[in-house]
């Protein structure tokens, strides 16, 4: 079975499709870097929508989401954007953890695995 790489770079691809599964790299808010968590989360979810569409799927097919927060006290702020975005009746399995992210301006990072 072949692999399709989405936006491959020197160190990583933004996504990899194998068969009927797409694995997206952790997405951060490039435009909204430094903005509050809710705003960063909205941008990231938009990026996820675009990458999933490019892979031939959508958010209703997400099986697993892993959310990294620089500060777990912003959990409710992240959920404001998440709850408005996630498809009712198609909520994925999800883990949310506090982690030190690659740069201080990033407050949230989200990685997903979806079916096609």
| CATH number of domain containing 26 | 3.30.1330.40
Owning domain of residue 59: 3-115
* The total number of structural domains that make up the chain: 1
Q: Rounded to an integer, what distance in angstroms lies between the CA atom of residue 35 and that of residue 68?
A: 16
Q: What is the pLDDT of residues 7-64, one digit of tens each?
A: 999 999 999 999 999 999 999 999 999 999 999 999 999 999 999 999 999 999 999 9
Q: What is the pLDDT of residues 68-95, one digit of tens each?
A: 999 999 999 999 999 999 999 999 999 9
What pLDDT is recorded for position 44?
98
Record the pTM: 0.96
Q: Which residue has the tokens 């301006």?
A: 105
| 70: its two tokens | 């620089």
């Amino acid at each position: 079975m072949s692999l399709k790489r989405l936006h491959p770079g020197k160190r990583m691809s933004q996504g990899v499709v194998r068969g009927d599964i797409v694995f997206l790299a952790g997405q951060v808010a490039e435009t909204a870097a430094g903005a509050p968590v809710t705003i960063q989360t909205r941008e990231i979810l938009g990026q996820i929508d675009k990458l999933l569409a490019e892979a031939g799927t959508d958010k209703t097919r997400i099986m697993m989401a892993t959310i990294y927060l620089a500060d777990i006290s912003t959990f409710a702020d992240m959920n404001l954007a998440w709850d408005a975005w996630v498809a009712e009746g198609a909520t994925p399995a999800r883990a949310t953890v506090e982690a030190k992210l690659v740069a201080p301006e990033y407050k949230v990072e989200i990685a997903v695995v979806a079916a096609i």
